[in-house]
Amino acid sequence: MEISVVIPVYNSKDIVKDCIDSILGQDFRGEYEIILVDDCSTDGSYEFMLAIAASARLPVRVLRTPANGGYPVAMNVGIAASRGRYVARQDADDVSHPSRLSIQFSAIEKHSDIAMVSSTRYWLTPYGKPYHQALAPGPEHILETWDDIMQQRRKFTDAAAMFRRELFDRVGGYNTYQRSGMDFDLWLRLIELTGHPVLTLRTPLYGRRLIPGSLIYQPGTTHNNSMPRLLARRRIEDGIHPSTPPDLQWIADRKQESPPMKGEYRRVRFIVETGVTCLRMGDFWGFIDFAKSAFVRNPLSAIRILAGSLVRGGDKGKIPGYPTFPIA
């Protein structure tokens, strides 16, 4: 088995079929499997996926976590059951380009001196309007380092990652001390373990669906996402091996020292500006969904940010439609 695609799922019955179809429709000629890990959904996702697996033309397994623990726990469950030499990450509300697995497999087989491979992404608004980032012509891939992640200048997409199962085991798998930020916590540790960078394919092979209720928009996410970087600095300064389990008391103390208010204002701005971009892409109801979400979080900040964002017209660097493949 070459690749195991592991997909954590929670209450995604209405959208997970698009995700699964995008993996079943890959042009990869090697052997691969799909592992769906239901994280104790309450909307019938588990039964729905069992029905899909029963009629799939490829190996599709549906597992279930013993209790709802978030995507890091679900990923650990799925990877523990995987049979592939490589693990491909995928979120249940997203889609992959038909050539994602074949292109990434070729890259990771060719480059032994990388921690993992990923790609850039395009986006889908809540009601399915695609858009992408304007990119200048350049090389087919770039190498991104520990410093790039720490300084928040990396270009790769977490859920588009493919990595070696053997390295995952050596580094101790996903940490589970919180529900967000555990992807780049793992990427930092893989880089520390191997001493190698991430290979990022500039072709956007991954479609990220924007949903106001997603984890990235939740209260505390910005604040929580700072913790993997604090832990990484501590490992480097104190010579801690990347497979060493994190000190939970140390994490609790750091969270007490740094209240999340500033990060939450940035999160409201992120929600509003995403909504305005949806409006510019022709998704009015997607804009309404994001505006409502921001207003519930902080009405005064939402109104102030919305006024300025509407004047600017959203992110002018985003272009309607699907990206072309490949990038020249």
CA atoms within 13 A on the CB side of 196: 16
Judge whether 206 lies within some domain: yes
Tell me: pLDDT of 261 over 60: no
pLDDT tier at 182, thresholds 50, 70, 90: very high
Q: Write the burial class of residue 238 (CB in 10 Å: 0-12 exposed, 13-18 middle, 19+ buried).
A: exposed
On whether both 193 and 232 belong to a single domain, the answer is no
- What percent of the chain has a predicted confidence (pLDDT) above 90? 75
Beta partners for residue 63, in sequence order: 37
Asked if residue 262 and residue 170 are part of one domain, the reply reads no
**% of the chain beyond a pLDDT of 70:** 94
Indicate the average pLDDT of the chain: 92
Average pLDDT, integer, range 218-232? 82
* End position of a domain, from candidates 158, 188, 211: 211
Confidence (pLDDT) at 150: 96
CB atoms within 10 A of CB 43: 12
Query: Same domain for 205 and 226?
Result: no
User: Residue 280, Cα to own-chain centre: how many angstroms?
Assistant: 24
Number of domains in the chain: 2
Give the whole-angstrom CA distance, residue 164 versus residue 30. 16
Q: Which residue has the higher pLDDT, 178 or 324?
A: 178
Please tell me whether residues 156 and 95 are part of one structural domain.
yes
Query: Residue 283: pLDDT above 70?
Result: yes
Are 61 and 69 spatial neighbours (Cβ–Cβ below 8 Å)? no
Same domain for 55 and 152, yes or no, is yes
Is residue 53 domain-shared with residue 157, that is, in the same domain?
Answer: yes
The answer as to whether 323 is a domain residue is no
pLDDT, residue 37, reads 98
In the prediction, which pLDDT does 108 show? Answer: 98
| Count of other CB atoms within 10 angstroms of residue 239 | 6
| pLDDT for the residue 19 | 97
- Note down the domain range covering 303: 221-317
DSSP assignment letter at 226: T
- Looking at residue 219, its pLDDT comes to 67
The CATH number assigned to the domain holding 159 equals 3.90.550.10
Condensed to tens digits (0 to 9), the pLDDT of residues 90-142 reads 999 999 999 999 999 999 999 999 999 999 999 999 998 999 987 778 899 99
Mean pLDDT, rounded, for 263-273: 82
Give buried/exposed letters for 94-119 (b at 16+ CB in 10 A, else e): bbbbbbbbbbbbebbeeeeebbbbbb
Let me know whether 106 and 241 are in one domain.
Answer: no
Domain end position, chosen among 211, 240, 256: 211
Whether 143 and 79 share a structural domain: yes
* DSSP H helices in 215-282: 221-224, 227-238, 248-257, 261-280
pLDDT at position 281, please? 92
pLDDT, residue 110, reads 97
- pLDDT of 176 reads 95
Do 199 and 254 lie in one domain? The reply is no
Domain final residue, candidates 177, 211, 245: 211
**pLDDT, average across residues 302-327:** 77
Please check whether residues 179 and 234 belong to one and the same domain: no
What is the residue-wise DSSP string for 44-85? SHHHHHHHHHHH-SS-EEEEE-SS---HHHHHHHHHHT---S
User: Do the domain assignments include residue 285?
Assistant: yes
Q: Is residue 324 assigned to a domain? A: no
pLDDT band at 291 (very low <50, low <70, confident <90, very high): very high
Is the CB of residue 205 less than 8 Å from the CB of residue 160?
yes
Residues 173 and 260 in one domain: no
Mean pLDDT of 282-306: 91
326 falls within a domain: no
Q: State the average pLDDT over residues 259-271.
A: 73
Question: Do the domain assignments include residue 190?
Answer: yes
Q: Has residue 187 got a pLDDT over 70? A: yes
pLDDT surpasses 70 at 239: yes
> Tell me, what's the pLDDT at 86?
98
pLDDT, residue 328, reads: 38
**250 belongs to a structural domain:** yes
* Same-domain pairing of 126 and 275: no
Q: Which of the four pLDDT bands, split at 50, 70 and 90, describes residue 217?
A: confident
216 within domain boundaries? no
